[in-house]
Every structure is written in C-alpha cells, then in structure tokens.
Structure 1
Amino acid sequence: MSRITFCRIRTYNLNLKMKNIKKTKKIRADELLAYQQDIPIEEARKFILAGLVRINSNQMVKNSSEIIEQGINLTLDESLKYVSRGALKIKPSIMKYLPDMAGLIAADIGASTGGFTDLMLQSGASKVYAVDVGYGQLHYKLRQDERVINIERVNARAIDNKMVPEMVDVITMDLSFISVLKVLPSVNNILKENGWAFILIKPQFEARSFEVGKGGVVRDREVIERCLSSISSYIQKNLTWNVLDTIPSPILGPKGNQEYILTCRK
C-alpha cells in the first residue's frame, strides 16, 4: 500500500470517527488533536506526552487517552509550527501587514536556522532567498525545500543583484554584531518598489559600546528610543521608505534584551 493511499485511508477513518463522535460529544485527546491539527495520531500523542498541548490555550492535556468534550479547542505550542522560535519574533508584524504572501518572492537577511524563512513559506511565499554569513545553519527541512535558495558565507553588506538575481517583494532582517544601518543600502537594491521590509532591531548592536550594560543588555530607555528614532530617520531620509510601525517583539533576545520590529514599505 502506498503512503498516499495509507494517508487517505487514515484521514477517512479519522473523519468517519469524528462523525460518530458527534453523537457521543466526547473523544480521546489524541484523536481530537489529530483531527483539529490535521496531523498523524502518533504525532499528536508525542505532543501531548511532551506537555505541549493546551485546552483552550490554558489547561495542559496530560494524557492521550484523556476523554474530553469534542467541542473543546486544543492548541499546540505555537513555536512547534516553525523550524525555530525565532519566527515568533517577527510574526506579529507579518500577520498584521502581510499575512498572505501567496506568490511573493522574499529575502531573509541573517537567516540562521530559518525561522523567518519558514514563517514566510507557511504564509504562502513562492520563493525565499535565505542569506547568512554563517555556514550549515539553515534547518535541514528548509535545505530540502525547493522554494528556498540557500546563500551562505555572505556578509549582508555585500548583497547585490548577482547574488539575488531578481527583485524581491519582501525582506526580513535579523542581524547580530552589526548595525542594520550598514546593511540597509545593499538591501534596498534588491527590494521592489512598494515592497515590504520587516526589520528586527537589536539595541545592543545599535547603541554605542559604553551604553551597553553588563551582560550585553541595554536597559536605558532613552538609549533605546534614540536608536529606534535614528534608524527610522535614516530609512525615511536616505531610502525614502515609509516607516509604518515599530513595536516590541514578543520574544526577548537570548540575554534578555527587548528587541523591536520595524515595518516599512518602499
């Protein structure tokens, strides 16, 4: 039996079981999760065992065989949807301004494991250029995805139309140990008119060295505001992009730094 046939049979059986369950109004937790998330029941059991499933985003499901009301909504830890939790850093702005990327071409500058890349692919992007100065960091899943063009060992300041041979609709940026101000001019050259830019701002790499506190954390609100303001001003004056929004990222940096998402339109 082929894998496709097996999957169809499994889906049919699960849907049939759900129809029967409507009469009883109760179901095993693993069966309900598999149905709601459209995943294999074995995978649903693993998520429950790992403590990653919640009832209505609150109470943890402790056992796969737990019997619950079939109308209850089971939720997964959102970070499981992507190759890295980094996707959650920028997701609020993507969902606000560009939730549907169907057919769009994107560039993920500072891709690393590929959290932003995965987020854009799952939002419908048809192609993503994943650019990083490092090597071998991109998640295996993305390396195998024909929609991903993996560009490694490239300093973001060196990006040009030879490396990215087509203009892109969307750019995301997540850089470390370098100011975004040094990279924006190069990035501007590959972004289409009316294109979108979602930039993660890390104050510890934008502030002056003496303004960065112990452990590499910037706590002075005035310093943070100055950094955000100077970047916005630079973008509007030198790139003539429209700065639409600057909001705190929901995920803190590894040392506890508050990071910010800057949303722009060219």
Structure 2
Amino acid sequence: MTHPSKERLDLLLVEQGLAPSREQAQRFIMSGSVLVDGRCLDKPGTRVPFTSNVEILSPSCPYVSRGGLKLERALDRFNVSPEGRVALDVGASTGGFTHCLLARGAVRVYSVDVGKGQLHWSLRENPRVVSLSGVNFRHAPPDLIREKVDLAVLDVSFISLSLMWRPLSAFLSAGAGVIALVKPQFEAGRKKVRGGVVRDPDVHKETVLAVIARARGQGFAARALTFSPLQGPAGNMEFFLLLGADLSSGEVLPEEVGSVVSQAHEFFRKGRKDAD
C-alpha cells in the first residue's frame, strides 16, 4: 500500500525523530519554532509533503517563544541595551519580547496585549513583569502606566503601526528608544498582499518607507533598520525599526531601506544562511 504524499505536521515531526511525542511536537509547532521549507508553520494539523525540509529552530530556545530570538538580534544590531531600564512591550502575546527584555536586564516590563491569558505563566508570575492583558493599546488610558518607560518594543498584528504612535508617546521618558517590528502584510494595501503574504521587494520598500513617514508625522524619527532572520507566518518577511522622539538628528534614508530590503531577499533566497 502506498503512503499519502502529505502528512500532518505534528505527526511528521514524530516520524522524522524531531519530537519525542505528538504532544511535544504540537508544543514546538504552536510556539512558532518549526520551519517547513524555510516557512514558519504554527498549526499542528497543517498537511505538508513528506519531502519537506522540516527544522526545529531551537528546541532549547531560551525564551518562551521565538519572538525573543527576533528581538535579541534587533537589540544586538541596534546596539541597544535594556539593562536597568523600564520597558514596555506592546503586543506581548506569549511574551517572547518580554522574556528577552528581562534576560537583557530590564528592571521592569509592562506587557500589554489585547488578548487575555496569552502571556506565559512564568512571566505572569515574574515580579518584574506587569501583565496588562485585555488592553487595546490604541485606546490606552493615560493612567495605564504610572511611570515613564525608557524603552518600548512593538509587535502588533492585523493593525497598522501608524495607530500606535500617538498613544505610545504618552508613556515615554525623555530620550526613550522604540523598537518596532514592521509587518508589511498588515501595512500594505489588500491588492498588494496575495494570500496573506507580501513577496515583492518593491512593496517591502514602499511599506517600510510609509511606516517611517507616518511615524515622523507623529514625532518619531527612524534611526536604524534591519530585517528579522526569522520569517513570520506564511513566510512573510519582517523588519525592525529603531526610532526616537528627537527629529533633529539623522534618519534612515530611502537608499538604506532599499539596501536592507535587498539584503533580506538575498538572505532568504540563499536558504536562511547567516547574513553576516
């Protein structure tokens, strides 16, 4: 009897010896730690070809989700240290960014998410974490946080970053830094997003430039740009922006945006080899 050409992803992990049990395989998948042919798949029931190249990014990942690995690289690229700083994580979800900020020495992290009960239990119980679940940051009341924050990180979905700048400014200390994850699939118009994925480098560049322009219109200047070496759902490329509230100093130029977008496409074209 011939085998079907496709199998459930959770079962395939077990069959290939990448997970000791189906339950563990499902945990790997739902945490965003599984790549199939270079794309992150986060649904255990997704059927994939037996011939697929399946990878576990890091079974011993030091963070509660792969988001921590994304932010870790951005912090290093931007030479930003959370040590000794009060931080704000907007769109915290499971808490990968929050976990990374704690590991890098943040004295306190305010973790905000519109969803409820998503933050990992270990972070909810951490005395340095203030969990603010069920909060739509777009409409955050001014007394949501009763101290100024020195560093804000943003990872929002199904909404444009342009709606975050105004409420964010109320919570930042003088000289605070902002690191925002740009997701082109939620910034570009529907006609430019096919099947939930943006693949055109011109659209990537256009989208990042639009985010920078809108941020500047709300008083935030883009200082630096890099791409995430870990793709988002369905293989979407993502980019990190470092921003500050001082509009008088230098900003990211259009040529730099084009260069980073080209680097990202080359990186993934080569099969996720080290871009360094």
What TM-score, normalized by structure 1, do the two folds share?
A: 0.68
2:194 is aligned with 1:213: yes
Point out the more displaced range, 108-117 or 97-106: 97-106
Of 85, 92, 96 in structure 2, the residue corresponding to residue 115 of structure 1 is 96
Q: Which residue of 2 aligns with 1:224?
A: 204
Aligned-pair RMSD on alpha carbons? 1.7
Q: Which residue of 2 aligns with 1:87?
A: 68
Of 153, 160, 163 in structure 2, the residue corresponding to residue 182 of structure 1 is 163
> What is the letter of the counterpart of residue 252 of structure 1?
Q
Q: 1:79 to 1:171 in 2, by over 3 A?
A: farther
**Alignment gaps of 5+ in structure 2:** 1-56, 246-276
The runs of at least 4 consecutive aligned structure 1 residues that moved more than 6 Å come to none
Shift of the alpha carbon at 1:83? Answer: 0.9
2:105 is aligned with 1:130: no
Which residues in structure 2 correspond to 1:7-26 (within 5 Å)? Answer: none
Q: 1:155 to 1:79 in 2, by over 3 A?
A: farther
> What is the letter of the counterpart of residue 173 of structure 1?
L
Q: Which residue of 1 aligns with 2:8?
A: none
Q: 1:98 to 1:142 in 2, by over 3 A?
A: farther
**Alignment gaps of 5+ in structure 1:** 1-75
Shift of the alpha carbon at 1:160? Answer: 3.5
Of 174, 177, 180 in structure 2, the residue corresponding to residue 193 of structure 1 is 174
Shift of the alpha carbon at 1:149? Answer: 0.4
Per-residue CA shift, 1:116-135, capped at 9, x if unaligned? 00000010000000000001
The whole-number CA distance in structure 2 between the counterparts of 1:181 and 1:79 is 35
Paired residue total: 189
Q: 1:131 to 1:255 in 2, by over 3 A?
A: same
Q: Which residue of 2 aligns with 1:38?
A: none
2:215 is aligned with 1:235: yes
Q: 1:159 to 1:98 in 2, by over 3 A?
A: farther
Retained in 2: the 8 A contact 1:160–1:190? no
The whole-number CA distance in structure 2 between the counterparts of 1:167 and 1:96 is 25
Per-residue CA shift, 1:203-236, capped at 9, x if unaligned? 010011111112x001122221111001111222
The whole-number CA distance in structure 2 between the counterparts of 1:127 and 1:195 is 15
Per-residue CA shift, 1:228-254, capped at 9, x if unaligned? 001111222321x33111111111002
Q: Which residue of 1 aligns with 2:232?
A: 253
What TM-score, normalized by structure 2, do the two folds share?
A: 0.65
Percent of aligned pairs with the same amino acid: 38
The whole-number CA distance in structure 2 between the counterparts of 1:179 and 1:99 is 24
Shift of the alpha carbon at 1:101? Answer: 2.2
Retained in 2: the 8 A contact 1:79–1:85? no
Q: 1:262 to 1:100 in 2, by over 3 A?
A: closer
Retained in 1: the 8 A contact 2:165–2:218? no
The whole-number CA distance in structure 1 between the counterparts of 2:239 and 2:115 is 23
> What is the letter of the counterpart of residue 82 of structure 1?
Y
Matched position secondary structure for 1:112:
coil
Which residues in structure 2 correspond to 1:21-32 (within 5 Å)? Answer: none
Shift of the alpha carbon at 1:186? Answer: 0.5
2:120 is aligned with 1:100: no
The whole-number CA distance in structure 1 between the counterparts of 2:60 and 2:214 is 33
Shift of the alpha carbon at 1:91? Answer: 1.8
Point out the more displaced range, 89-98 or 139-148: 89-98
